[in-house]
């Protein structure tokens, strides 16, 4: 499902012609199977956010290969990545990234609008999804009228609305209290079991990692345990 082979990435700093390369990822390789919940665990600066951004196509690797759902995405251009993300990936963010001027319904509907789904079908799918995540009574609420947990449920509904094969999550419970965190992790587990979606989450929280099927430990740009996904 997600196959990463010998991934290297460096950032350049300094003036043009006198740049210094700062290595961030140093030959990372791993494979995540369809339907797994996997976590990338590491301290700040370990390279986990860079790794997720590479898999998302927001930055390009210095070298290496990335294959998602059997498709080699390593050298996709911006237009190809935009289409691939819309068709194959869903995203959940720590700060939710909801559009303030749109209601709950409209935020979840947006990816379907971008895909050109007709209005009647959009309404049917959005209402079904909002009911599934427990937000059918908040459809007309704006983000600032929702709790943190409710906003994250909107984010999850939006990520799932296009039926993606993979969900990439950046600290999905990082801004939530412990009780709400438990609720969101339970929801992710339920959706994973119901739909067989692959979840890849980055976190510094060992409790979050402990709820996943497997965890990938990243330290200074290198996978521990020889780059093997380690059973939790």
- Average pLDDT for 129-144: 95
The parent domain of residue 149 ranges over 2-15+22-231
Residue closest to 165 by CA, chosen among 188, 193, 189, 198: 198
Percent of the chain with pLDDT over 70: 96
pLDDT tens for 185-202 read: 999 999 999 999 999 999
The pTM (predicted TM-score) of the whole model is 0.89
**Residue 80 has what pLDDT?**
97
**Residue 223 has what pLDDT?**
87
**Residue 232 has what pLDDT?**
37
**Residue 76 has what pLDDT?**
96
pLDDT tens for 32-72 read: 999 999 999 988 888 999 999 999 999 999 999 999 999 99
Chain mean pLDDT for the chain: 91
How many separate domains does the chain show?
1
pLDDT tens for 62-79 read: 999 999 999 999 999 999
CATH at residue 33: 3.40.50.300
Judge whether residue 228 has pLDDT over 80: no
pLDDT tens for 75-124 read: 999 999 999 999 999 999 988 999 999 999 999 999 999 999 999 999 99
Least confident window among 20-24, 140-144, 223-227:
223-227
Q: Where does the pLDDT of residue 226 fall: very low under 50, low under 70, confident under 90, or very high at 90 and above? A: very low
């Amino acid at each position: 499902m997600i196959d990463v082979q010998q991934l290297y990435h460096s950032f350049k700093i300094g003036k043009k012609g006198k740049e210094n390369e700062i290595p961030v990822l140093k030959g990372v390789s791993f494979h995540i199977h369809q339907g797994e919940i996997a976590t990338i665990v590491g301290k700040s600066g370990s390279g986990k956010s860079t790794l997720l951004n590479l898999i998302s196509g927001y930055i390009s690797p210095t070298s290496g290969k990335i294959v998602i759902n059997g498709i080699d995405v390593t050298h996709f251009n911006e237009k190809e990545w935009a289409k691939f993300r819309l068709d194959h990936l869903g995203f959940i963010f720590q700060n939710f990234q909801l559009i303030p001027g749109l209601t709950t319904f409209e935020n979840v509907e947006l990816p379907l609008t971008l895909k050109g789904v007709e209005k009647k079908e959009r309404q049917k799918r959005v209402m079904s999804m909002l009911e599934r995540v427990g937000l059918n009574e908040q459809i007309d609420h704006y983000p600032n009228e929702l709790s943190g947990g409710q906003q994250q449920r909107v984010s999850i509904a939006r990520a799932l609305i296009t039926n993606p094969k993979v969900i990439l999550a950046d600290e999905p419970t990082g801004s939530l209290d412990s009780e709400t965190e438990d609720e969101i992790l339970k929801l992710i587990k339920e959706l994973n079991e119901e739909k067989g979606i692959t979840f890849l989450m980055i976190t510094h929280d060992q409790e979050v990692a402990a709820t996943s099927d497997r965890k990938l430990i990243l330290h200074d740009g290198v996978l521990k345990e020889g780059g093997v996904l380690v059973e939790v």
